[in-house]
Structure 1
């Protein structure tokens, strides 16, 4: 069975952690991009800020917060784990269960990154990454995330289908988060189902339906085939994941707009 992870968009990704070299190059690209943006902003505001030293210091502090925390949090949340460096290297940050990162994960990674990447010139991040089996830095350990390689990943052959008679039930059902790996196992079986022998197909889907049903309340209506039930659960799970992602994106946009207004909203110390 292919060892992959399932994200909200229903894309199968290689679950093997990204190599240290690719993560390092990606991080270097992010650092250079941040430094370039910071220098450009400082040069653009130097004339206005040079008139008052206190104002210049205030602007510099706010700019550092925006660049080191606000920008990476916004980018990772909106892109669901892909900064500029990760995009260049074909990487993505995902949760330990394979799902897409949200605002909380991006915020923890950014806050810890200020210390382990910027304050220590990356020394702490390098040591932590080399010491972890998945190459996690401290921010990843605390956030419950890690980086994987996604370049060249392919989608599923068989789409998820919601039976018309189950749409209302699925919408109102209480679906708890499935254990790590179970959703992936179900998705792989559903993708392979048309190529399986009828007896093996029925045996696998019946077994998986029994495991999944423990996390769904109420259970499916009587007489619903196991395979149809599994399709409905993963279909609804995907839609809910995407809906949560949209909410996180809207929240990140609002927070980014607030952060970007800060330099202009700080009161002039001379007033």
Structure 2
């Protein structure tokens, strides 16, 4: 397990992807990229015509490599919020260090770093060594030496690759929400909340009563604001951030395990402590 600092400095536990799983995902991605490269190259050659010079052919080769090497991870990770085809098969996902989803700028930095830093392309050009000798060596060394398994692109982009199948397991449902909030949650699109935020919310709810009162209130409000950006429709007015997170995580849990219906009160019995929120009165601040 590794600790990540989320929002106002609370350390959360994630399970970073290590060298083996990342290498397996990369191999699958490289195979797909090779196929896309060949398709792209042949299309460009067809557009250039049969009378293209050797310099033109070389230029088309470089353009094809750049388009595929940068475009493939950029498009995949941006559209799927951190998953290429290889990562999807390996159960991995890229998230920000604050637990939020990967954005376009992060995917761009990671894609550029993959080509010019992690696979060692500049080194091969300078030394004249074949690309296959150093393919991925700088990135592999960075992952092996990093406690969080981050390659050079992750260090530059402020991201981390996590084992999604482990981190997104339903786990134990938190305290069931208020019945009114439970009814609202059944109609809300809680499935759109990124896994990193759901994990952060679950970790926070399990530790919120151990934190300083002011820090807990600020962190809960900030995390509820981030979660609310991905949930629609908005909850009833005046809902406290803590209760909002309880409702969203409980409903996400219910959908992940596929059982229990809060509308008829069949949530599994909660056997944990039920302390009051260590802040202002319930409902004093809105989650939105």
Please indicate the TM-score interval, normalised by the length of the shorter structure. Answer: 0.5 to 0.7
Which structure is higher in helix share?
Answer: 1
**Is the 1:162–1:231 contact (alpha carbons within 8 Å) kept by the matching residues of 2?**
no
Asked whether the equivalents of residues 186 and 230 of structure 1 are also in contact (C-alpha less than 8 Å), the reply is no
d(CA) in 1 for partners of 2:164, 2:200? 21
Q: Which residue is equivalent to 2:119?
A: 117
RMSD across aligned C-alpha pairs, in angstroms? 3.9
Tell me the matched-pair count. 192
Helix, strand or coil for the counterpart of 2:65?
helix
Whole-Å Cα distance in 1 between the matches of residues 40 and 98 of structure 2?
38
Is this contact kept in 2: 1:80–1:100, CA < 8 A? Answer: yes
Structure 1 residue 84: Cα displacement? 0.8
Alpha-carbon offset, residue 45 of structure 1: 4.1
The 8 Å contact of residues 209 and 229 in structure 1, kept in 2 or not, is answered as no
Indicate which of 234, 238, 242 corresponds to 1:230: 242
Q: Is 1:144 matched with 2:162?
A: no
User: 1:69 maps to which residue?
Assistant: 70
**CA offsets per residue over residues 170-219 of structure 1, 9 Å max, x none?**
xxxxxxxxxxx9755433368xxxxxxxxxxxxx39x67632444669xx
Matches within 5 A, 1:1-271: 15-49=14-48, 50-53=50-53, 55-115=56-116, 116-117=118-119, 119=121, 120-151=134-165, 153-155=168-170, 157=173, 183-188=201-206, 204=209, 210-214=214-218, 228-232=240-244
Higher RCO structure (Cα 8 Å, ≥6 apart): 1
How much does 1:17 deviate?
1.0
Task: Give secondary structure in 2 for the equivalent of 1:151.
Answer: helix
Unpaired runs of 5+ residues, structure 1, are 8-12, 165-180, 191-203, 218-225, 237-271
- Return the offset for 1:149: 0.9
The answer as to whether partners of 1:4 and 1:15 remain within 8 angstroms in 2 is yes
Shift in Å, 1:4: 8.7
* CA offsets 1:98-154 (integer angstroms, 9 cap, x no match): 221111111111111102226141111111111111111111111111111112532
Deviation of residue 68 (structure 1)? 1.2
Tell me the residue number matched to 1:175.
none
**TM-score normalized by structure 2?**
0.55
Change (3 A) 1:161 1:37: farther
Measure how far apart 1:6 and its partner are: 11
Gaps of 5+ in 2: 7-11, 122-133, 182-198, 223-237, 249-288
